[in-house]
Structure 1
Amino acid sequence: MKTKPKNWTALVLFLASCIFFSCTSKDDQQDLALATTDSILQADSIKWHRLFEGGDKLTKDFLSRPVDTLFARLCMNGFQRLYRKPTNADLKVLEKAYTWAVSFEGDSLTNWLYNVRALDQGAEIRVCFGVYTKEAMDHPTARTHLNNAQRDSLIAKPRLTVILRAYKNNKPALFPNTAKPLPAYNLGSLKP
């Protein structure tokens, strides 16, 4: 019984491929695997960007500034409440509370950091997560620095944020010789 030459060709190509891949080094195989993984991650990143690319504009109307620590605490408590043990109502808020970047104005942030360092040399800076909740929007800090439309927008669609806080010895850093905590830093521009 004779076999057709094209079957031999396919068999030879198959064996050559097996020999080639078995002879490549582990490093080459890892490089190939990493290249494939990088391609997949890059494709996912592009898809993610396209999904949210309509949100390239930052909310320029927010002020990047030091804020009262009670206001910061309200936002931080809102985040913890929503993410630790959310109720059904909290889950509805979470569906709307979306932010993927917060931008702070450079000079203002630098001044705040300089003041924290000048007031308390050993302070560390913590980046804390928060949510702009109705309680936070009723606080005098929000009433002073945000107009009614901005507050109403954040009440209707709460947004995630980050709050910068100065800590020392695992406690909020204090003004020298007082029990008053140093101001937090918040109200950056949100994206989207």
Structure 2
Amino acid sequence: LMERNIPRAAIHVGTDKKSFSSQVGNEAERRGWDEKRYQLKNADIDKNNHYNYTRKRLNFEIVKDGKILPLGSQSVPLHERLQHRLDELGFKPYMDAKRPDQVSRNSPNCTVGIIFSGDHDVLNRLAFGEQKLNTSDPNADHSKVVLQKGIYDWALDTYRFACEKWGEENVIGFDVHCDETSIHAHVQTVP
């Protein structure tokens, strides 16, 4: 009976954004992230990061029609996909009259980032089953860890929910990170 009361989902909605940088997109998709980049991210003591390079290969993304791919597989980076969708919609940000190279503060928002996660232990069971691993140790060797079907099912359910809410054409990125302490999915949408 207690098992039913375990929290299973969490949603964090970031602030609406007027723009979206390639740097933010590259982090979500782990583009250009080599072992040295992981070490640099973990060296930032203020952020208490726990990125594990040996679990990078476990990250994945979900694309149109619910197809699962390794993270960063799409040839068009996230920030460019967002711009393509904005172009399709005819979205033009208001530029600042005093600084023509910057977006005005009263410009409409063009994107919203959402993070889906849940109970740490539940998601770890879905992802890793009975495999024992310490997700808070960035230096642990998890090169033999295999993702279980449960985490793909969770991610597909979450992807379908996002598509029902905002339209599949407006879900620009759906990136699942299994290389950090807690498993989560970054969803980038056009509002």
Pair in the same fold by TM > 0.5: no
Task: Provide the TM-score with structure 2 as the length reference.
Answer: 0.28
Q: Which has the larger radius of gyration?
A: 1
